[in-house]
Amino acid sequence: MRTALMKTGLLLSMAMVLGGGELWAQPAAGLSGNWDESAASYPSAPVAAQYAQPPGGPVGPLQYGSAQGPAPGYEPPGYPMQQDFGPPLGFGTAPAAVPTAPPGEQLNPWIAPYSDHYPLFGLYLFQEGNTWRNFSNGDASNSNGVNQGINLGVPLPWLSQFGIGAQIGGSYNIYDFSGRSGDAPTRANSLGQQWFFTGGIYRRADADRRVSAGVVYDLMMNDNLGVFSAPPTMAQVRFQVGYALGYFNEVGVWGTVSAFAETVGLPPNLAGYTSAYFKPVNMLNMYWHHKWGLGGADTTLFVGVPRQTVLTDPAFGPNFGTLDAGGTINVPLTDSFALYGNMMYLQPDTHTGFTPLKETWNLSIGLAFYPGRAARSSTVAGRSSMPLLPVANNGNFLVNTNRSF
């Protein structure tokens, strides 16, 4: 318990240091504090002219971020959304024009969305309550607890001009503070712990290309997992490819492929098992991502099929699923904070026996803190600096085992 509190305190300390620094909050460099950052994200002459010149005035480019500021006597319209961000710190080659409507005109939601290009680095910290179960729980109770973690996105040298960045993050998860029922009596009062680490590369959709893609390597380490209090370490490769239909809708696929499975020794237990094999579940899902207005909430729904080797417990029967479904939601509260939630359900095969005990699901509700004041984004493309994929969790890293009595 002392170790858990120390790690939680360390994460909170990091949040305070980053939140109080000047790395993430940069001055607006001559622009109005009410300026719409999407207009400043692409300083191309045609779009700069529509924002920088008063109605009926002369047409000409504006050097955003320079000391010149907006044209004399002109107040920026703050379109499409009101934000206090200022211009981007830096980004790659901008497309020829931004596909956005001039102030006062109807927005076409089906043109290519732009990705917000500020701040240069994307970071958020999160704290959540979580309940879950998978095949390893067997006839034992669900796992309930709290998770805390961090996720960081950075541009890659020589590749950022193509919108490609790297992401790295991790979380520490604590479960069953009062112990849990199970078939390993020697560990009945032990705290459940998990560590997730995620790292990879990604590119978000943007005005020049509607395709987003990312691939990461997920590592899961456990202590006191499941009905037999096992300590397995596993890894998977997770990927996502999406296509932005417009400002507010994106469709695509995401999935997982097992990269590392492990056989571990078990503590003395009622079933007499001495070892167990644990393996990540492969999945392929289709998803629909919707943005509820410029700068609004994001929701994602997905449905798919697992594809895994059937693992069989001598007494409990074979463990495998037939269909999975779920979704996520992210609701910005301010520029720095957002509420989020995610859920997932895997339907077990009805011919495996003990079906009611073999359901796999995950439910999380939490609060995310964005030190760079980047909780909001303009379109479904999000922010180019923000990690595309979340840190691994028990909803996107499913586990199968041959010891689940």
Contact 239, 214 (CB under 8 A): yes
One-letter amino acid of 124: Y
3 state DSSP class of 380: coil
Q: Which of 25, 27, 68, 24 is nearest to 48 (CA)?
A: 68
3 state DSSP class of 281: coil
Compute the distance between CA of residue 151 and CA of residue 366 in angstroms, rounded to an integer.
Answer: 14
Cβ-based neighbours of 101, under 8 Å, separated by 6 or more: 79, 80, 107, 108
* Other beta carbons less than 10 A from residue 107's beta carbon: 16
Amino acid 342: pLDDT:
96
The pTM for the full model equals 0.77
Ramachandran area for residue 385 (φ above 0: left; ψ -120 to 50: alpha; else beta): alpha
Ramachandran area for residue 396 (φ above 0: left; ψ -120 to 50: alpha; else beta): alpha
Amino acid 352: pLDDT:
59
Helix (H) or strand (E) holding 125: strand 122-133
Amino acid 22: pLDDT:
32
* Other beta carbons less than 10 A from residue 179's beta carbon: 13
Contact 239, 215 (CB under 8 A): yes
Amino acid 349: pLDDT:
77
The low-confidence residues of the chain, meaning pLDDT below 50, are 1-71, 74-104
